[in-house]
Structure 1
Amino acid sequence: MGDSGATGALTRRRRATLAAGKGADLLPMNGRSAAVRQSSVTTDITRDNGQAKRNRSLETVQSKSKTEKRKNDIRERLSCHKTQESLLSSASGYNNYRGILNWCVVMLVRHKYGVLVDPIQVISLFLNDSYSWPACLVIVSNMFILVALYTERQLSKGSFTELVGFLVHCINLAIMLTFPAAVVLLVPSMTPVGGAVVLGTYTILFLKLYSYKDVNMWCREQSTVKAKTLARSLSCKSQTRDRKVFYPGNLTIRDIYYFVSAPTLCYELNFPRSPNIRIGFLLRRLLEMLFFTQLLVGLTQQWMIPIIQSSMKPLEDMDLSRMTERLLRLAVPNHLLWLMFFYGFFHSSMNFTAELLRFGDREFYKDWWCVNSETVTYFWQNWNIPVHKWCLRHFYRPLLRRGFSKMVSQSAVFFLSAFFHEYLVSVPLRMFRLWAFMGMMAQLPLAWFVGRFLRGNYSNAAVWISLIIGQPFAILMYVHDYYVLHYRQEAT
């Protein structure tokens, strides 16, 4: 009985202890009750769930952002044209010509020769010798166009692997550069003017077919990842009544010859199109083309040739003071002729072709002449938009995607440009002096110097001076070397 009573008392004490412990949980601890602590735990759980949701939402946004960025990159690669007017067209509404004032300060014009214009001499340059105007080489260029089209058709059907198609394109493009150059060098009757025209035609075609190859390859890449659509009109807000073309429906003779004829170097499946042909606009551009052609020929005979002829003696004697004087005298007419060529080619002739083809994107140049043109790179990026777009789309950005730095990629673009400048000058003259090549490569240190040390009107004037002095210097060097190589040897 005593043991059982002791056991019962111990059990009661244990229960009391447990009850006290449970009751203690109901008492405030550090100023908070159990209910409050339970609420805190619930709040923490809710906060964690909310943070997790926000993290998931952020990840979703980032994923969508990456996807959208990738889509924009694809659209940017596949489309680089939009419907717009040229800056010098009245419809563009552009009126910022303040940079011309700096040009006027730099330029001083004087004239002392009589009337030396002889149109018959220019016409006879192309008609006296039928072989001197190599139209046959321009006709042969159609073979390279058809080879590119055939290769792309075989690739679209799977008859060619990507490696085989790449090799065929490389061979086709390599022959395009070497074949006309070999003909110009080996055929004695080929004149420098005829050779320059042929090589210029083949160079343009080379850049076009390279773009044609790249864009169709991008379309095949997108088809392998099951893209929803491959029409590059996605980023083109064009006013057109034509139906859209999808890959491989673009691989037709009509499509590739439209691209070859269009005033652009960058291929697209669906170019922006203007609604109609404006006859008045077309006639104005035609009259400008005829006028500037005659003016360029006349001023070359009247102004340029006499200065060049009078420069031979100072160059032979290496008279530095007289050479500098001849260089400055040549700079004025050369630069005026260059400005006339710019307007006649980039505005008149390219707008004429675009109007005929209803090609909507008329941005062939930007305002490189304005006060914003304070760096050399700004000028090169804006004075020739078709070439700039090609370099950006098919050369500069691919190099960046492969991990090259901006400086290396920019240097590579200037190197490519320097190569084609030398190719278009040295081969027709049948001599290799690298003056054009070095002149283009010199733009890199010049761009660094102007961008680092000059500002405002000073940098803008420096850009103008580099354009005014650089070109006549290269012309004098080539003329002197050509004279020494041909006429001095004949005289002796």
Structure 2
Amino acid sequence: MPDDASMSQRVEYEGEAQPDRTHVAKCGYLFKYRPYKFTKTWDLRYFELKGKVLEYYLSQKQGANHPRGLVKIEGCVVEIEGRKKSRFWVFSVVDPSGLNLLRMSSESEKEVETWVQALVEAGCTKRYLKECFRARSPLRSADIRWKGEDSAGLKRVPSNQSVLDHRWAGSEESAVTGLETADSLADTLPERDGHARRPRQPLPKDYASDSGMSESGTTAGPMPRSMTKRHSDMRGSTQLYTESRPSILSTERFAFTQHSGILNLMTMVLLATNARLILENLMKYGVLTNPTRWLLFLVPKGHTNLMYCWPAMALFALIALGIEKLGAKRLALERKASMAKRKRDMRPVEARRKAAQMAARSECLLLSLHLANLSAVLVLPTWVVLISDTPVPSFMVIIFTITLWMKLTSYAHCNLDFRRLSRDKERRRADRPSRPGGEGLGEMDIPETIHQGVEAVPGKKVDYPDNLTLRNLAHFLVVPALVYQTTFPTSKRFRGRYIIWNVVHLLVAMGVLMIITEQYMAPTIKTSVAPLRELQVAGIVERLLKLAVPTLYGWLIIFYALFHVWLNILAEITYFGDREFYKDWWNAATIGDYWRLWNVPVHKWLLRHVYYPCIRRRVPKTVAAVAVFFVSAVFHEMLVGVPLHMVRFWAFWGLMFQVPLLFLTDYIKKRANSNQIGNYVFWFTFVIFGQPMAIMLYYHDWKKMHPGLANGS
């Protein structure tokens, strides 16, 4: 059976033309067979039959979204396989050419009957399969409900015996005759739920399962001797070519053919290649990994200046809270002044003008204070790092500095929006008497989000300015989110074992990363200085290709350790509920898809505080996208250049180079109508060229700054 990502002439996915599927004739949960894994599985999916199309989703909640896949069933055949494993009732949707499109099952026989009937009414043809031929295994009597004796005079036997082991009441017959009699018995089934079973249709003699898979998902082996035709039945004139069939590797059948053997071969080749590289590295360089040096990277080596950065960051957060409390007091004074002006019977136009002036002065003051505080958040730790000579601890300080800056920026921006919404509410309330007929916006006319001043999220709502508390700010600073909200979705329980297991994963991942860096990346990087200095193109390309593999492994380990393990540990400790820290970035069809899926917290921050503020000011979308990449490029350069004490803008220009690639991959996707080309471009730019080249360039500049370390590590 095809996987959720497989495609054929009858299976369509997102981005393709979708037929009209407004009327749902049948819906419900079924098990869908997936053979393209190491362990074959039956996955629960939500199916909907809409007209001539059968769709399936991950769950019923996603029914409003695009389906995971769909099959046009008009002209197809519904093959009823019967009961498997004494529990599941299996049926399949088969193309007229014999290609198996979907294989489904359910524990309820009645549910399967209703689905089959619905598919038949939608345009399919029903066909019963002889289970002994289909599954290549003996048909168990437990799969057939006998009703006394049938027309052939056969007696009922215990349910734990095989049909082929039955002792018939009549004379002994050949294996083929007995098999045909067993099939006739299987067709004679009792009435159930008031519905009489239809007799099975005869199976073509040359029929063979397209997938060749049994109910367990394994490749069907040779049939038992008692189940095969005798060799004497095949004469010299027997026709063996009876229908037109495409080749297994052709586009018509490739998506519906099992390729686990090829996947196993690729896995063995990958293991053998990496084993050779490991052995070659050990024979050439010996053991370079020294675990005792790992802890030294975290020691400031006498430079205690970095330790003062942590209390300074806490002080900056308290200053931001004080600025917002000042803004809340200024807002309350504005309301009192507005009421006093209305009591003096000022004209509405004059009152609004005075209120706007007071609000502008207040926001100008608050903006100046926030800019000074946010500038200090970046400048002070950066200055401390530049006077220190500890790259790894400095990197930790810089990454927490940037995180705090982004959080405090979101904190200031969100509370600014709360004040604007509050002023809008007050202005609407003041304008109410001036409207004709005395009609205006009352308390119930104001939208809930404006009235509350917060977004609708699960949990208790907190109105502005009640959110301006130390506890609320401290909770925001520790949760794995960069955009501020007064409340966040929360989890229901704390799992201590989950944290311990993730801590073990984190330690193992960091250890493997250090081994890859010291044992494999460092020797290759050291030998790349000469080709770069002499601009030897062949040597540079060779070093890039050799460095690409360990860099890829290190990049994947960093992704797993940071975005999956560490952020989940932090979310579990803080009871943070929304843990979608990343999406399926490995399937990115464009560069833009990768940056949207790779780092979801940063992507949300850039959307909320960079991209959409530019759009609201009528900035073109292209310019807004460039602004997003510019901000990201500045912080990437800061992460790399400041701890190494050399700002060379390699990371900056590497990020800005993504902008033309963004438009190029979007154009390729639209022009070629395919996601694969853009995915190849993404993997090449990041794995083969981008990251290895950036590492080589930074190391080359590092060696130029430290010529005395030419022979050292």
What is the TM-score with the length of structure 2 in the denominator? Answer: 0.51
**Partners of 1:156 and 1:248 within 8 A in 2:** yes
For residues 352 and 482 of structure 1, the distance between their equivalents in structure 2, rounded to whole angstroms, comes to 35
Structure in which a larger fraction of residues adopt helix: 1
**Partners of 1:426 and 1:433 within 8 A in 2:** yes
For residues 225 and 458 of structure 1, the distance between their equivalents in structure 2, rounded to whole angstroms, comes to 49
The residue number in structure 1 matching 2:491 is 274
1:150 counterpart = 2:322: yes
For residues 304 and 561 of structure 2, the distance between their equivalents in structure 1, rounded to whole angstroms, comes to 25
Aligned residue runs from structure 1 range 193-208, under 5 A: 193-208=392-407
Offset, 1:221? 1.2
For residues 476 and 311 of structure 1, the distance between their equivalents in structure 2, rounded to whole angstroms, comes to 7
**2:678 maps to which of 459, 462, 465:** 459
**Partners of 2:633 and 2:651 within 8 A in 1:** yes
The residue number in structure 2 matching 1:89 is none
The residue number in structure 2 matching 1:475 is 695
**Partners of 1:426 and 1:432 within 8 A in 2:** yes
For residues 348 and 490 of structure 1, the distance between their equivalents in structure 2, rounded to whole angstroms, comes to 37
For residues 132 and 324 of structure 1, the distance between their equivalents in structure 2, rounded to whole angstroms, comes to 42
For residues 704 and 566 of structure 2, the distance between their equivalents in structure 1, rounded to whole angstroms, comes to 36
The residue number in structure 2 matching 1:68 is none
1:305-334 per-residue CA deviation (whole Å, 9 max, x = no partner) reads 111112223233332211211111111111
1:381-434 per-residue CA deviation (whole Å, 9 max, x = no partner) reads 110000000000111001000000110100110011111111111122222211
The residue number in structure 2 matching 1:60 is none
For residues 353 and 400 of structure 1, the distance between their equivalents in structure 2, rounded to whole angstroms, comes to 33
SS in structure 2 opposite 1:477?
helix
The residue number in structure 2 matching 1:24 is none
**1:250 maps to which of 458, 467, 480:** 467
Q: CA RMSD in A?
A: 2.5
Offset, 1:135? 2.6
SS in structure 2 opposite 1:274?
coil
**Partners of 2:596 and 2:603 within 8 A in 1:** yes
**1:113 maps to which of 281, 292, 313:** 281
**Partners of 1:231 and 1:247 within 8 A in 2:** yes
Distance 1:128 1:175, change over 3 A: closer
Offset, 1:276? 1.5
Offset, 1:141? 0.8
**1:217 maps to which of 397, 416, 426:** 416
Equivalent residue letter for 1:179: L
The residue number in structure 1 matching 2:565 is 348
1:395 counterpart = 2:610: yes
**1:405 maps to which of 620, 631, 634:** 620
Aligned residue runs from structure 1 range 423-434, under 5 A: 423-434=638-649
**Partners of 1:222 and 1:230 within 8 A in 2:** no
Offset, 1:350? 0.2
For residues 465 and 484 of structure 1, the distance between their equivalents in structure 2, rounded to whole angstroms, comes to 29
**Partners of 2:422 and 2:453 within 8 A in 1:** no
Equivalent residue letter for 2:420: E
Offset, 1:268? 0.2
**Partners of 2:300 and 2:393 within 8 A in 1:** no
**Partners of 1:134 and 1:198 within 8 A in 2:** yes
1:485 counterpart = 2:705: yes
1:363 counterpart = 2:531: no
**Partners of 2:305 and 2:384 within 8 A in 1:** no
SS in structure 2 opposite 1:264?
coil
The residue number in structure 1 matching 2:452 is 230
Aligned residues: 384
**Partners of 1:126 and 1:133 within 8 A in 2:** no
**Partners of 1:219 and 1:230 within 8 A in 2:** no
Equivalent residue letter for 2:301: D
Aligned residue runs from structure 1 range 370-385, under 5 A: 370=587, 373-385=588-600
For residues 259 and 476 of structure 1, the distance between their equivalents in structure 2, rounded to whole angstroms, comes to 38
For residues 554 and 452 of structure 2, the distance between their equivalents in structure 1, rounded to whole angstroms, comes to 44
**Partners of 2:300 and 2:306 within 8 A in 1:** no
**2:373 maps to which of 172, 177, 180:** 172
SS in structure 1 opposite 2:289?
coil
Offset, 1:139? 2.3
Q: Can you give the 5+ residue segments of structure 2 that lack an aligned partner in the other structure?
A: 1-57, 60-67, 69-254, 256-262, 334-360, 426-445
Offset, 1:283? 2.4
Equivalent residue letter for 2:310: V
Equivalent residue letter for 1:486: H
Offset, 1:230? 2.3
For residues 391 and 370 of structure 2, the distance between their equivalents in structure 1, rounded to whole angstroms, comes to 29
1:184 counterpart = 2:352: no
Offset, 1:225? 2.3
The residue number in structure 2 matching 1:31 is none
For residues 133 and 196 of structure 1, the distance between their equivalents in structure 2, rounded to whole angstroms, comes to 14
1:123 counterpart = 2:306: no
Equivalent residue letter for 2:375: A
For residues 534 and 293 of structure 2, the distance between their equivalents in structure 1, rounded to whole angstroms, comes to 31
The residue number in structure 2 matching 1:386 is 601
Offset, 1:126? 2.5
**Partners of 1:134 and 1:190 within 8 A in 2:** no
1:115-134 per-residue CA deviation (whole Å, 9 max, x = no partner) reads 32111112123337131782
**Partners of 2:494 and 2:573 within 8 A in 1:** yes
Structure in which a larger fraction of residues adopt strand: 2
For residues 489 and 359 of structure 1, the distance between their equivalents in structure 2, rounded to whole angstroms, comes to 46
Instruction: Please say which of residues 222-231 and 136-145 is displaced more in the overlay.
Output: 222-231
The residue number in structure 2 matching 1:315 is 532
**Partners of 1:133 and 1:190 within 8 A in 2:** no
The residue number in structure 2 matching 1:300 is 517
